[in-house]
Amino acid sequence: MNLTYLIIWFLTMLTSWYAVLGGPLTAGAGAIMSFILADKFVVHIEFNKVNAFVIGGLAFLITDVLYFTFTKDKIPIEYIFKASSTLNPNVLFVEVFIFWHTLVGTKLYLTVSKT
């Protein structure tokens, strides 16, 4: 699954300024892949692929809205955790990972717990 996350992250970064469109697509595809991998290697689950795709893409859309809403001098994570991106540039796009893991992970947990 970590390889899936890295592939989706790499594809998202390759979309460059198309990230507004490509990000939700790759995040949704990553969510579907995570559910497929959990179904194949962990426990057999029944899930709706469209629902998984929408939840994964929603995480990236939330981040897009946050980046368009906040000013250019600070990124959203600086407001939430008081982190400084000028001192540590590794926090760029951390919101995507926080929201993606929270939304997709919760949905995956709820789906697995039903079986």
User: Distance (Å, rounded) from C-alpha 115 to C-alpha 106?
Assistant: 15
* pLDDT tens by residue, 8-48: 777 666 665 566 677 788 888 889 999 999 999 889 999 99
Alpha-helical runs (H) found in the chain: 2-14, 19-41, 49-69, 76-81, 94-114
Q: What one-character DSSP code corresponds to residue 17?
A: G
Give the whole-angstrom CA distance, residue 113 versus residue 13. Answer: 33
pLDDT at 107: 92
pLDDT of residue 106: 92
pLDDT greater than 70 at residue 91: no
- Where along the chain do its domains lie? 2-114
What is the pLDDT, as a whole number, of residue 12? 64
> What pTM does this model have?
0.72
Q: Which residue has the tokens 């490509």?
A: 22
